[in-house]
Amino acid sequence: MPRSSFSRAMNYFKDSTCHKFWSENAEKVCDDEEDISGKIVIITGSNSGVGKETALQLAKRGAVVIMGVRDLQRGNLAVEDIKRRFPSSTIDLMRVDLGDLSSIKSFVREFESKYSHLDILVNNAGVMVVTKRSLTKDGFEENMSVNHLGTFLLTKLLLDSLRKGAPNRVVTLASTNLSIASIDLEDLMMEKRFKTGDNGREQYNSSKLAISVCTRKLVTSLGPNHGIKFFLMCPGFVKTALFRDNGCCGKCFTNFSLCVGGINAHKGAETAVYLCLSKSVASGENSGRAEMYRFMKIWEFGENVLKEWDGTETVEKLYAMTEDLLGLNEKKSLNVNQNQSIISKLVEVVD
């Protein structure tokens, strides 16, 4: 990559320290809110943190909010809380585990049986697994599985419903950390690169970069006039449960940093809410890619990082690998027990 690590690190820290003050001073989410009453919205991972706040803000404005959660008990608590604060809100709690391909497929089937179309998809669910490399039941490394593969599969499977609701929006929560991430096609499941302890963000960063570059490739592959606006975004540095798997030192450092520079979930949800609501952001000329936002505007540095990845051989190969791992490329369905051998074969092919 042409951009130097030093320049990336400087921009990363500059953005991380400025956003607290920017965001705390923001008064409104946007001046040009679209009326979303009755619009059908899916928000994944909406039982806590940024996702729950986004659900609350959209439900408050009259949207039909489908809260996609992996744990219905935790989900019910979130629904009760939103209903208590906004009793007239319309919420449908549905189970989806982004780390389980069969759960994602069942979720989409259930959604399609209940709703004629989809207006807004917010890909919010995410994990940061740091202390121990763990595999999902499909055999994928957990960060890569939830943050990239599961999110990509859900988006792909919902494209038909989205097209029926066009014009509409897909908002995917990436991270500032993508600017300091790398992609290793030979070690996508982090067998060699998985790091524990304080360095353990690498697997998370890599998964966020993967979903970002593949989302942009997906947008270009859809061609013109598909009627869907895709956005990538970072919510900022937000005090949520995301960092719960950090080791002891990591937790101390993160908690200290959150106290100094972190924002609450309400502020953290502002960019997602803005991207769901703003008329101007959706009516602007379609750039043909998913632009990267932070603090309710295009995050230029992140956007430039992603532009450097666009169209590269690495992204082309990653996209093909992603589709193969998800069984999307070919008609044959994925044999979930053979993931590792598929990865090895793909690596041989791409080499």
Ligand X SMILES: NC(=O)c1ccc[n+]([C@@H]2O[C@H](COP(=O)([O-])OP(=O)(O)OC[C@H]3O[C@@H](n4cnc5c(N)ncnc54)[C@H](OP(=O)(O)O)[C@@H]3O)[C@@H](O)[C@H]2O)c1
Please report, as ranges, the residues that interact with ligand X according to CB under 6 A.
Answer: 44-45, 47-51, 70-71, 74, 96-99, 124-127, 146, 173, 175, 234-235, 237-238, 240-242
Residues 6 or more apart from 182 whose CB is under 8 A from it? 1, 206, 209
How far apart are CB 233 and ligand X at their closest, in Å?
A: 8
Annotation says 12 is catalytic: no
Closer of 114 and 244 to ligand X (Cβ): 244
Residue with tokens 């603090």: 295
How far apart are CB 115 and ligand X at their closest, in Å?
A: 19
HSE, side-chain direction, 13 A CA sphere, residue 201: 16
CA distance 187 to 311: 21
How far apart are CB 105 and ligand X at their closest, in Å?
A: 14
CA 211-217-218 angle, to 5 degrees, is 85
Closer of 137 and 279 to ligand X (Cβ): 137
How far apart are CB 252 and ligand X at their closest, in Å?
A: 16
Closer of 58 and 234 to ligand X (Cβ): 234
Q: Per the residue annotation, which of 115, 204, 293, 319 is the catalytic one?
A: 204
Closer of 57 and 240 to ligand X (Cβ): 240
Residues 6 or more apart from 192 whose CB is under 8 A from it? 184
CA 319-125-217 angle, to 5 degrees, is 20
How far apart are CB 301 and ligand X at their closest, in Å?
A: 15
Q: What three-state secondary structure class fits 26?
A: coil
196 by Cβ neighbours in 10 Å (0-12 / 13-18 / 19+) ranks as: middle
Closer of 92 and 186 to ligand X (Cβ): 92
| Short-list 188, 279, 274, CA closest to 234 | 274
Q: Catalytic amino acids?
A: 204
